[in-house]
Amino acid sequence: MGWSVNRSTGLTENRPGLTTTGYTLITPSADDAAYLIDMNGQVVHRWTFDTIKPGYGRLLDNGNLLMSGSDVNLAPPPEDEPTKPPPPFEVHVTRLGGYKTTLLEVDWHGNVVWSYENRAQHHDFVRLPNGNTMVPEWVELSEELHKKVRGGHRLPRERLPRLLGDDLVEVDPSGIEVRRIHTWKLLDPVNDPIHPTKRRWEWTHINGIDVNGAGDIAFSARTCDRVCVIDGGTGELKMKFTDTHGQHHVTWVGDDLLQVFDNGISASRVLEIRVSTGEIEWKYEGRPVHQFFSNYISGADRLWSGSVLVCEGSSGRVFEVTRDQQVVWEWINPFTNHRVNGEPAVGIYRAHRYPVDHAAFDGRDLDPERYANFNRLNGLR
């Protein structure tokens, strides 16, 4: 969906009685903070960061915030000069979408209680029940596999870097690696090609991972348009779904059900997929269909009521939709930041909503009056 910097922002729809009451966590693009907003769309808490440029965060069961981000002292990515030799791996990855260097776990007051640095991690993370953490990590493929992978395109006279795949890396609380899964061994270089609109830089570009109680791992591979499930027992693929394009944020919403934000080519969808059959069980589309579209980032968070909190990422639009397709809450990002090139940025990578009895809120002052001036300055009251 197109958007204007002059649009109305903040809370634009709220239908009490139909909404799922809670607090919503957002991290606006190019901001230095994550914000917690109430059902009236006002900020009730803020975490600021000075050592990383925050990407996006999740509240943990222990009440802390786990935030991904990039080192503020990271050198600017190199210019794209396709006819020159490609930069080395550790430099090349800094120019890829979703690149991160650091995970920080902070308490309510922003004090760092845990950190993990990996200069090849990107996009997503999962805190596992045993206290370990899993992240996707870029890895260079072998020359042989680089040549076998089909699809994608190269620019005129482009000198291609080595094609990248993804490992899923699990680390324990001390940061020691305890497991590594080579997702590139699970896909077929011919039958799972790179989409022709993508340059031949990455085969998979994993932008979402989630793990269920049985240990099955779901992942979204954006550049080859695949949503897959790894069997936690055998390590083999138990599902490969191919009816999405550029998708994000795959999550488990039942023992045999996945949810994914399907970005699409000109219109987006939220899909619920049955793993055992590969069939779509439920979906949300815009009305009219092109009213709902984000060509990159974005997510869908299944709420405890059964409704879905949708993040139309590129426009910074967050809304709640019920199972019968009613949009009952909508909030438009009022925080207009600027990218390095000066362009305005209003995007939100993902949004999450948490119930009022979440451990993070126990004994906390969530009165928006604490942020009265801030909310007023940003048109939120």
Q: Report the alpha-carbon distance of residue 348 to residue 335 in Å, rounded.
A: 10
Residue 6 is predicted with a pLDDT of: 86
- On whether residue 357 sits in a domain, the answer given is yes
149-161: per-residue pLDDT in tens?
Answer: 999 999 999 999 9
Altogether, the residues listed in the chain come to a count of 381
- On whether residue 2 sits in a domain, the answer given is no
- On whether residue 3 sits in a domain, the answer given is no
Per the listing, tokens 């925080």 go with 335
Q: Report the alpha-carbon distance of residue 235 to residue 215 in Å, rounded.
A: 10
- Alpha carbon 117 to chain centroid distance? 18
- On whether residue 144 sits in a domain, the answer given is yes
- On whether residue 359 sits in a domain, the answer given is yes
- On whether residue 79 sits in a domain, the answer given is yes
Residue 339 is predicted with a pLDDT of: 87
On whether the CB atoms of residues 216 and 238 are closer than 8 A, the answer is yes
262-277: per-residue pLDDT in tens?
Answer: 999 999 999 999 999 9
Q: Report the alpha-carbon distance of residue 210 to residue 250 in Å, rounded.
A: 7
pLDDT band for position 108 (cuts 50, 70, 90): very high
pTM over cut 0.85: yes
Domain that holds residue 352: 10-377
164-212: per-residue pLDDT in tens?
Answer: 999 999 999 999 999 999 999 999 999 999 999 999 999 999 999 999 9
Rg over CA atoms, the chain? 20
Number of domains into which the chain is organized: 1
6-15: per-residue pLDDT in tens?
Answer: 899 999 999 9
Number of alpha carbons in the 13 Å side-chain half-sphere of residue 143: 0
Helical H segments across the chain, by residue range = 89-92, 143-148, 372-377
35-87: per-residue pLDDT in tens?
Answer: 999 999 999 999 999 999 999 999 999 999 999 999 999 999 999 999 999 99
pLDDT band for position 1 (cuts 50, 70, 90): low
Q: What is the mean pLDDT of residues 246-269?
A: 98
Is the backbone peptide bond immediately before 368 cis, with ω within 30 degrees of 0? Answer: no
- On whether residue 4 sits in a domain, the answer given is no
Please give the structure tokens belonging to residue 319.
Answer: 């809304």
Q: What's 272's domain CATH number? A: 2.120.10.30
- On whether residue 1 sits in a domain, the answer given is no
Report whether pLDDT(105) > 80.
yes
Give, as one character, the DSSP assignment of residue 141: P
313-362: per-residue pLDDT in tens?
Answer: 999 999 999 999 999 999 999 999 998 888 999 999 999 999 999 999 99
Contacts of 137 (CB under 8 A, 6+ apart): 118, 120, 121, 122, 166, 167, 168, 169
Residue 381 is predicted with a pLDDT of: 87
Which of 218, 190, 213, 214 is CA-nearest to residue 203?
190
Q: What is the mean pLDDT of residues 18-42?
A: 98
